[in-house]
Homo-oligomer: A and B are copies of this chain.
Amino acid sequence: MSGMFAGVDLGGTKIACALADAGGRIVRKETIPTQSHEGPDAVLARMAQLVADLSSGAPLEALGVGVPGLVDLETGTTLFFPNLPTQWRGVPAAATLRGRLGCPVLLMNDCRVATLGELHFGLGRGVRDMVLFMLGTGIGGGLVIDGKLRLGPLGAAGEIGHQTILPYGPLCGCGNRGCLEALASGPAIAGEGVRLLRGGLAPMLHEIVRGSADLVSPATMGEAARAGDAAVRDAIDRAASYLAIGVANVVTAFHPELVVLGGGVAGLGDLMLETVRRGVKERVGMFPTGGVRVELSALGDRAGIQGAVALAMSGRGGRVAS
């Protein structure tokens, strides 16, 4: 065998793939558009081709794939991908990829996979208990307990974006109301930014996006806040305060040593981090928190493929062979 592993991060708009050596170091990577309208068969075929191209046809030890939803952990069959067409339900994706590539293929929810990335290649190295909040279009995450990724019977443990933060808050994509995802995800923050833009409350943001709501995002809002838009800064603060509640709730329940904030929204950096840290301290201040640290991901947008490589290196259940 070559001693090489591959990792893929399947997203709604793009597929990122990496080839890694026996130590998990990424030696090559490439990204292609998902084009999910082509259907699962075509997408899986292109994904397999991408992996084969990256490895120049050399045999692989294993492939790990992070997917945007839930899969049957035993069989690698897809269950529920909220952001891909419904024909993605019940697709034997692991078996299909295994047939094309001739190596073991492991599938797992992308946020749990990113948690493996943080655990083995990011801030989680040497940490026994940690939580990752992945803040993007949705909010997902993962729990590591006693050094082991918590999956639960269906791989759905770690769905910490669907904690209820406001009992009668806005509708969430999951059907519940007031989920953290409905309050602090990229779309939630951007929606508030558009309100400020249209209401004439964000002059810097207006200049930065040249008046276009299409360009309002956590990134452009962060820029506007730093440039002096107080209302935009307040909107970011409020989202961060909700996030602080979500973090504090997980801390009171299971008391990890480390909480990592990852995903695109974490790119707001200190604009978000300080408010989250302060909020967590206020909410769990009376209890000895044993120095729970709250940090920004060190891997940034590499968490997904780095985690997929970790998954490839692991057995099912996400234990990386050491």
| CB pairs A–B below 8 angstroms (18 shown) | A70-B288, A79-B288, A145-B150, A150-B255, A152-B256, A154-B288, A154-B290, A156-B255, A156-B288, A157-B254, A158-B254, A160-B253, A162-B286, A163-B249, A164-B245, A175-B286, A176-B285, A176-B286
A167 engages B242 (CB within 8 Å): yes
Does any Cβ of B come within 8 Å of A54's Cβ?
A: no
Which residues of B have CB within 8 Å of A156?
252, 255, 287-290
Q: Is A316 an interface residue (CB 8 A)?
A: no
Q: How far is the CA of A257 from the CA of B143 in the complex (A)?
A: 17
User: Do B255 and A253 touch across chains, with their CB atoms under 8 A apart?
Assistant: no
Contact with B along A278-296 (1 / 0, CB 8 A): 0000111111111000000
Our pick among B242, B248, B255 for the contact of A154 (Cβ within 8 Å) is: B255
**Inside 8 A of A152's CB, which chain B residues have their CB?**
129, 254-256, 290
From the candidates B157, B248, B283, name the one contacting A253 in the complex (CB within 8 A).
Answer: B157
Q: Which of A282, A285, A288 has the most CB of B within 10 A?
A: A288
Give the CA-CA distance A284 to B163 in the complex, in Å. Answer: 9
The reply to whether B145 and A253 contact each other, CB–CB distance below 8 Å, is: no
Rounded to whole angstroms, the CA-CA distance of A196 and B147 in the bound complex is: 50
Indicate with 1 or 0, residue by residue over A159-173, a CB within 8 angstroms of chain B CB atoms.
110111111000000
Shortest beta-carbon contacts, A-B, top 5: A152-B255, A157-B255, A174-B286, A163-B249, A153-B290
Chain A 152-204 residues near chain B, CB threshold 8 A: 152-154, 156-160, 162-167, 174-176
The answer, yes or no, to whether A271 is at the interface (CB within 8 Å) is no
- Copies of this protein in the complex: 2
Interface flag for A101 (CB, 8 Å): no
Expressed in whole angstroms, the Cα–Cα distance for A241 and B158 within the complex equals 23
| A167, A250, A257: residue with the most chain B Cβ atoms closer than 10 Å | A167
CA distance A154 to B290 in the complex (A): 7
> By CB atoms of chain B within 10 A, which of A148, A152, A282 has the most?
A152
Give A283 to B165 CA distance when docked, in angstroms.
Answer: 11
With A145-B146, A162-B287, A249-B249 known, 14 other A-B pairs at CB within 8 A are A150-B255, A152-B255, A152-B290, A153-B257, A154-B255, A156-B252, A157-B255, A158-B253, A159-B287, A164-B248, A175-B286, A176-B286, A249-B253, A250-B253
List B contacts of A253 (CB < 8 A). 143, 157-160, 163, 249-250, 253-254
- Per-position binary interface string of chain A over residues 231-263, scored 1 when its CB falls under 8 Å from any chain B CB and 0 otherwise: 000000000011001001110111111000000
- Structural contact, A150 and B242, CB atoms closer than 8 A: no
**Neighbouring B residues of A289 by C-beta, 8 Å:** 156
A145-B145, A245-B164 known; A283-B252 Cβ under 8 A: no
Pair A249/B164 contact, Cβ less than 8 Å: yes
| Distance (whole angstroms) from the CB of A254 to the closest CB of chain B | 5
Give A165 to B254 CA distance when docked, in angstroms.
17
Q: How far is the CA of A79 from the CA of B174 in the complex (A)?
A: 41
Partner of A282, one of B148, B176, B252, B286: B176
